[in-house]
Amino acid sequence: MGIDGQAQRFGALALAILAGSWLSGRDGGAGRAQPAPIAPPSFATAPAKNGAVIVSLRASSAAATIHYTVDGSSPSASSQIYEAPLLVARNLTVKAVAVAAGTASDVAAQAFSPNIPPGTLVWSDEFDNDSRSKARPNPRIWTYDTGHSGFGNDELEHYCAWGSSAPPCDASRPNAYVGNDGNLHIVAERPAKGVYTSARMKSEGLFSVQYGRVEVRARVPEAQGFWPAYWLLGGDIGAVGWPSCGELDVLERVNAATEPDWNEGSVHGPGFTGTSLGTKYSFPHGQTAAGWHTYGMIWSKDEIAYYVDDPAKPYATYRTASLVGLKGARWPFDDGQGAFLILNLAVGGNWPGSPGGATRFPAQMLVDYVRVYSH
């Protein structure tokens, strides 16, 4: 190749380099490795009862967070975070995106049209046990709070999970089990003077519900220092904290039976904690909470109603209008998130006080079933 040919080759190479530099400036770095697009979440469904389904969402990357809506709006990074499988028993569309490093995936959507009539049983745990031994509560539904933190109420008990063996818990004497009588047993024990154990079961991360009639059939111990409860917390508690997540108390009472005996239904949220939205139900003469009763909540948009034994006769109804006059109050129950279930028997605390000399151990809270009906 002569000098002229070398010059032509050099000139062509220089032009290519300059063109590449110009193009790089135009596209912000063409040729560099670009992040792979984020895949949208995938859906999975499992049958519940009578046409209802339990919907699960999954991201393809562990680094992605799923955000979703159920009201037809397009999801974004500011939408509700997916925390647990959600019971779907009404006609709706679930839309979801996966978000990682500030980038959102395309929207994944799935419509559900179960067309279930109101009052239909759509989910339950009947606490069946055909064996002769104490059985573990269904681990696909129930997990546990554990330890001796006081749980914000200065409670005295150590909460023990199924299989807990670290003292004072004793795996051979579970504080929560399904008996062959078809009941869930939540047992408060006093293994030593001033030491108490019990159980607090929850469906957090495993199962959630939004709207419907949520009911438990139970009988509770009544004595100084006992605090049995069935309640729900918003599944977004890990992201927004309490009380912003919302709390719904369906069964709650303390201490010994009175005449008339009672149960309290209440709602708590930002700007309305304590007893500002709580109502006591008085049992008919001769009845106590130590007998079998159904305790229920009817949850619909803008409204929460509580009943004992008869869903047609709510004893307390709370609405968004109930917050009028409460400074800083905000209704969190229609934000789109599901709520998880909690069953527990606390010992001591700010409300009941400590057990007294007449308080007998072991004591049991018995649960026949937990059910959800369409509404």
Q: Which pairing describes strands 92-100 and 65-69: parallel, antiparallel, or unpaired?
A: antiparallel
In the sheet where 200-202 sits, what is the strand order? 143-145, 200-202, 339-347, 226-234, 247-252, 262-268, 278-282
Hey, is 266 helix, strand or coil? strand
247 is catalytic: yes
Is residue 104 within 8 Å of residue 111, measured between CB atoms? no
Q: Give the residue among 370, 368, 371, 365 at the shortest CA–CA distance from 227.
A: 365
Is residue 206 within 8 Å of residue 143, measured between CB atoms? yes
Q: Which pairing describes strands 195-198 and 200-202: parallel, antiparallel, or unpaired?
A: unpaired
252 is catalytic: yes
Catalytic residue among 189, 222, 247, 264: 247
Judge if the upstream peptide bond of residue 139 is cis by omega within 30 degrees of 0. no
CA distance 237 to 282: 32
Is residue 304 within 8 Å of residue 362, measured between CB atoms? no
Q: Is residue 252 exposed (0-12), middle (13-18) or buried (19+ Cβ within 10 Å)? A: buried
Q: What's the CA angle centered on 275, arms 273 and 281, to 5 degrees?
A: 135
Hey, is 200 helix, strand or coil? strand
Catalytic residue among 252, 259, 264, 303: 252
DSSP state at residue 109:
E
Hey, is 307 helix, strand or coil? strand
Is residue 43 within 8 Å of residue 85, measured between CB atoms? no
- Residue positions annotated with a catalytic role: 247, 252
